[in-house]
Amino acid sequence: MLNGNTARTTLWLLTIAAATLIAITSACSPTPATSTTAASQNPAISTAVPALHVHSEPEVAPAPTLPEHVHPVPTATPTPPPLPQPPPPVPVAGQRTPTLPCTSTQLFPQRTQRSLAVDPTNEQKLYIGVEQDGFFKSTDGGKTWQRATNGLKAWQRTDGTGPCYEEFYETVINPKNPDQMCIAMAGGPGIVSTPAMPTNNGVYCSQNAGATWTQMVSPTMNLAVYALVADPRDFNVMYAGVNGGPCSNGPPICAVDQYFNTTGAIYKTTDGGKTWTELNALYTADMRVIVLKLDELNPDVVIAATFSKLPPVQAGPGAFGDLKQTGVLRSTDGGNTWKSSITGMTTNKNEQALLMMASAPTNGNNVYVTASANQGYYSTDGGVTFTKSTRLDTYAYDPHDPSGMHMLGASETIRESMDGGKTWTNKSPVPGLAVGSRAVPTDIEFGRITPGLVYLAGPNATLYRSSNGGSTWVQILSADKLPK
């Protein structure tokens, strides 16, 4: 028989063990409807858990060691390993079985894609979207940041700690009224009536510089929006490029062979996103439109970078097989008619599947594209024909160069071209974006007011600024500095 002290000690230990078990179970299970987490306080937060959307980008070399002249933001204190996870719950209609926590341990942690934007009338105002964490704004050139997520839909994190956002692909700002802006978000293909998974994405617009957002989509519009561009003459006119492949989430979300596009992977709106029309844009099954650009001097000219890949159920992610690649789609009449071009590209399908594109703001004839394989091309006729050049992960034309020839690019190093991408020279080391083979820059943006002001963004919520045209860089954002 236990004495009094021993019995009380035993009871205390059993109580602590039970509480610990309850805490672990709660942290690893979907939040119930009665929870007081962010999901119950914000109707825009879904309790579904996002799938990992593995992209077709090829493996790249790790980022080089951070040079002495780059000043990084101190990294956060390492966190202890996560607690063991219980088996996932049985899925129900409209809900996906949790497969991954919404944490930076995913293959592409906290990606920013091409979501970085600089206010064209006030370079102190910066915007950037961070996968999982949300959309953020700075009004002092990156010294401080604020969340700008009011109205953006999100999932609930599996640990119940708050919202989890899918990928932010692009941000566009009205140059005539910079309080008007829109963003493109993407996950798996689907429409607003598809259960749970895709409905958080599509196009969101704000009329007050990101203070509040409204989802601007049509009932039959594919919401996996990779690309977004607005007519500088009329911000009500926009084009959206989507993932025209099949459902990637599977039942009960949608059938694996279900497609959501029939005539084109490009949509157009003329009323600011209230309604969208799917354009007849040379659609082939499994086509993705990854980047859209307008000729800023003649905005009726629209070009689209595309790639087509086999559905994951057939060949896994990133497989192009013998699918027809359309290269660059080009319209000269505001999207009414389109032509495609791979002229000058190699016959290798991987070197026709395009993942990045830029055009010169001051000369729309200058276009640069990057293929999935180790190949890049430049064009001097607006994307009609191409000439082989260097593969870079991201690049941009200098808006202060009237000839439209000066460019900055980034892969293993920061590179510079003075001839529209025909030749490149090393300019500076790439700032240390993150540790990992896929930690490469994904966006370069020039300021439109101050020559030499340029920004570089990449995964892990990293953002750098250069005031001397890319010769040296200062870090102004990192994952551990994101406001909660």
CA distances to 107, 295, 302, 305, 446 from 242, in Å: 22, 20, 15, 11, 26
Over 80: is that where the pLDDT of 128 sits? Answer: yes
AA identity, residue 179:
D
Q: Check residue 220 and give its pLDDT.
A: 94
Q: Which pTM was predicted? A: 0.80
Whole-number pLDDT of residue 242: 98
CB atoms within 10 A of CB 342: 21
Domains observed in the chain: 114-279 (2.130.10.10)
pLDDT of residue 108: 59
**Cis peptide leading into 252, omega within 30 of 0?**
yes
Residue 10: how many other CB atoms lie within 10 Å: 11
Q: Express each pLDDT in 165-212 by its tens digit.
A: 999 999 999 999 999 999 999 988 889 888 766 789 999 999 999 999
Q: Which residue has the higher pLDDT, 84 or 226?
A: 226
C-beta of residue 140 within 8 angstroms of C-beta of residue 124: yes
Mean pLDDT of the chain: 81
SS3 460: coil
Lowest mean pLDDT of 60-69, 210-219, 277-286, 428-437, name the range: 60-69
**CA 327 to CA 337: how far, in whole Å?**
16
